[in-house]
Structure formats: structure tokens, C-alpha cells
Amino acid sequence: MNLRIVIACLILGALTEGLAYWQRLWVFDPPWLRLVSIFVVYGLLFGWLSTTVADYSPWLRFAAGALVGVLYEGANVFLLHLFTFPNQRLLFLRGPVSLALGAGIPWGIAPLLTPVFRL
């Protein structure tokens, strides 16, 4: 893994989770799972993925991130329940499938943008 890409993913995670906490977009129960998410999901999983696909085309990087994101969000909504969306909604998205897709596809941004931080 490229350390600069992992650090960029961690920063992205801290910013995203900070905004989500402030706006109550999703809620972790127990709250310390938010830190686990930043280090494990953003740092390790997306740091590794972003490093792995860094030399591929932007479309493939986004697609890989979106695919992993949809799988992660879907696993959470349907199985893991590490965090919840208040009232089963996120902005205009309602229901488990919409949440898994709508929250999962933007994960494609991480492997799309973070490789610019490598040397």
C-alpha cells in the first residue's frame, strides 16, 4: 500500500465522518465504531483499493470503488448494522436498496481522487 494514498483516504474518512456526525446523516452504535470505520474502511480497505487500482483509467478506478462501496453499504444495511440512517433515509434516499446504492456509489470517489497523492 502507498502510505500517501492511505493518509489521503484517512483524511477523506475523517472529513466525511465529521460531516456525517455534525449533520446526523448516519449514526454509529456504539459511537466508537466511527473511529473503526475511519481506520479500517477508509484507511485499510479503500487505501489498499486506491493503491491497487491507481494505475488504471479513472473510469475503472471509480467503478471499482463504487462496486466495493455498494457491497459495503449493502452489507451494513442488510446484515451488519454497524451504523444506521435515521428514519431509514439519507437526504432524498429512502429504503434499504436506495440507501445501499446511493451511499455506496459515491465511494468511487476515493480511488478516483486519492492516487494523485502518490509519488
Domain extents in the chain = 3-117
Residue closest to 4 by CA, chosen among 39, 50, 37, 35: 50
- Nearest-angstrom CA–CA distance, 82 and 117: 30
> Residue 92: helix, strand or coil by DSSP?
coil
Could you tell me if 5 and 115 are in contact, meaning their C-beta atoms sit under 8 angstroms apart? yes
- Nearest-angstrom CA–CA distance, 9 and 39: 9
pTM metric for this prediction: 0.92
- Nearest-angstrom CA–CA distance, 37 and 82: 9
Residue 119 has pLDDT above 90, yes or no: no
Q: Mind listing the pLDDT tens digit for each residue in 50-88?
A: 999 999 999 999 999 999 999 999 999 999 999 999 989
- Nearest-angstrom CA–CA distance, 67 and 17: 20
Residue 10 CB-half CA count within 13 A? 12
pLDDT classification of 103: cutoffs 50, 70, 90: very high
Looking at every residue in the chain, the average pLDDT score rounds to: 95
